[in-house]
Copies of this chain bind each other. A is one copy, B any other.
């Protein structure tokens, strides 16, 4: 009946502790990497004591990292859907994705990296992290490919276009970080010319 999971305390923090931890983790890991972020700093940012962390995430930092990556990935999927669903074509949808991401990049201080890769690329030893990151990334690609197919591309074309778009986004985001310039991301969609399309007009 009563879903008071998030309701209640108005004066204090608007979000429950668990959410605050995830948000803080996503933000910090994005900026300083997984091993570059200490628990002390994380708990300060989340305004939570250590006991809460290990209550909500029994395996501590690594559990929290997975949760933060999941949350960030979910945000990205929503951005993809929000951009492609009303789009008249794949190109237009991709353009919207670029612009939204560029805005996000600016809001986050023209610095932060991809939360998932920053969090989960932690060396060859941590196989679980790597596989989880792969899972999330492939989710982005297949979500994009689904939209591409819906917008008229053939299955193989759609998959290729989605992969290509993903590559451009990752690479473009990195160059944007290097230059602290979100325009790099905005310009990415110009490069979005599926190789097949080149041969079309013969």
Contacts and interface: CB of A to CB of B under 8 A. Distances in A.
Interface of A: 31-36, 109, 111, 113, 117, 121-124, 133-134, 137-138, 163-164, 166-172, 174-175, 177-179, 184, 188, 190-191, 193, 195, 197-198, 201
B163 A175 contact: yes
A90 to B, nearest CB: 15
Nearest to A34: B36
B124 A178 contact: no
Contacts of A111: 124
A34 B35 CA distance: 9
A168 B170 CA distance: 9
B195 A191 contact: yes
Q: How many copies does the complex hold?
A: 2
Of listed A166, A167, A168, A184, residue having the most chain B CB within 10 A: A167
A142 B1 CA distance: 58
Given A168-B171, A191-B164, A193-B195, A177 B121 contact: yes
The 6 closest A-B pairs by CB, nearest first: A171-B171, A167-B171, A170-B171, A32-B123, A35-B36, A111-B124
A172 to B, nearest CB: 5
B122 A32 contact: yes
B32 A134 contact: no
A195 to B, nearest CB: 5
B166 A175 contact: yes
B124 A31 contact: yes
Contacts of A166: 171, 175
Contacts of A175: 137, 163, 166-167, 170
A79 to B, nearest CB: 17
Given A171-B168, A172-B167, A178 B36 contact: no
